[in-house]
Amino acid sequence: MSILIKNIKELLQVRENNVTLVKGADMKTLPTLKNAYVLIEHDTIVEYGSMADLGEIEAETIIDATGKIVLPTWCDSHTHLVYAGNREQEFVDRINGLSYEEIANRGGGILNSAAKLQNMDEDELYNISAERLINVMKQGTGAIEIKSGYGLTVEAELKMLRVIKRLKQEFPIKVRATFLGAHAFPKQYKEQPDSYIDLIVNEMIPLVSRERLADFIDVFCEKGYFSLEQTARILEAGKAHGLTPKIHVNQFNAFGGVALGVKHQALSVDHLEIMTDEDVEVLKNSNTMPVGLPACSYFISIPYTPARQIIDAGLPFALATDYNPGTSPTGNMNVVVSAGCIKMKMTPEEAINAATINGAYAMGISNMYGSICRGKKANLMITKPISSYNYLPYAFGDNLIDQVIINGSII
């Protein structure tokens, strides 16, 4: 299978060399090529360049992209896409004045989702999750991380991870799996939290590792959830079984979680709505990617991650959806890119870099995804005719994606 996309108005995120992340002032630069073409063979980008240099190239499929912009598909590095049911009543509760913590204390939140998932058949869970995955692919996402964490029992956590594995096998999109058994404490462990840590460390993690169900280990390190000490124990156990650390941190409080993530060589630290100068400093000279989740901030009316502070300090930054039923019920990365610009004061160039190459880095796949580079995977999206790439975040309510190519196939 070969595809030639020609007459491209502007080709974005063009990299002669295989850059794996961009940071600081470099995030303001988005390399582009006008009046361009891209040649795809099988699942790989094999050539691109100016239309003036196209010459005689044959391809089985030819796409005329006159007036259109082509860019890499979005790389969504933080989602909870596999879940049962929804939580629209909690949406109404928040409108009526209840906080996230108050809803959780009433049995809502994560525990609500866990109860629904525990009672759902695995095939049904797979089917509804597959529908969500198809939708986000159509919206331009070509690589995605999916977490467990709505099971909170050995059986239900493994059920979630097996569904994620099935999605990985059945769809062309690149899927990375994260074990998040430490998402909340089940009710029966509220008075004996260390017993739940024992269950995660001694039973869940070894089973996840044995079945090769996850790439990453994650913890919700937050007051009222998992402490620094509990988080450290879980991350250490995960690393001992070959799982790379990630961490939910600083969503509501800053109390040392970022430093803990860096200490354990976390690939990413995610949320970061509350940041201190010390948090920013500790990220310097680390290989950890800060990830912002603006759709969550929008939906539950909490502060936005201070992207300007992070980028202006010379750090890299990524954007992701946090797609989940309670605090960010959308997997639309186009909305997230717009929110990065509108609410986090990122330039369009910074937001696109954050949602492509840096998002891929936060999944450990930027060597093959996230930019237009010879030899990388052919994951591209073609916009409708638009005036410039600035129009993508500007027209935040419009569907501007015309075609999506994942793994060299038009979906």
> Does 79 show up as a binding residue in the annotation?
no
- Maximum separation of any 2 CA atoms in the chain, in Å: 72
The pair of three-digit structure tokens given for residue 99, joined into one six-digit string: 């906080």
> Does 87 show up as a binding residue in the annotation?
yes
| Cβ partners under 8 Å of residue 131, min gap 6 | none
The pair of three-digit structure tokens given for residue 151, joined into one six-digit string: 């099971």
Of the candidates 5, 192, 164, 199, the residue with the CA atom closest to the CA atom of residue 81: 164
> Does 150 show up as a binding residue in the annotation?
yes
* Interior/surface letters 117-156, b for 16+ CB within 10 angstroms, e for the rest: bbebeeeebbeebbebbeebbebbbbbbbbbbbbbbbeeb
> Does 248 show up as a binding residue in the annotation?
yes
> Does 322 show up as a binding residue in the annotation?
yes
> Does 326 show up as a binding residue in the annotation?
yes
> Does 80 show up as a binding residue in the annotation?
yes
> Does 327 show up as a binding residue in the annotation?
yes
Of the candidates 284, 239, 245, the residue with the CA atom closest to the CA atom of residue 266: 245
> Does 251 show up as a binding residue in the annotation?
yes
Q: Which residues line the annotated binding site?
A: 78, 80, 87, 150, 183, 248, 251, 322, 324, 326-327
Q: Which residues line the annotated binding site for 4-imidazolone-5-propanoate?
A: 87, 150, 183, 251, 327
Q: Which residues line the annotated binding site for N-formimidoyl-L-glutamate?
A: 150, 324, 326
Q: Which residues line the annotated binding site for Zn(2+)?
A: 78, 80, 248, 322
Q: Which residues line the annotated binding site for Fe(3+)?
A: 78, 80, 248, 322
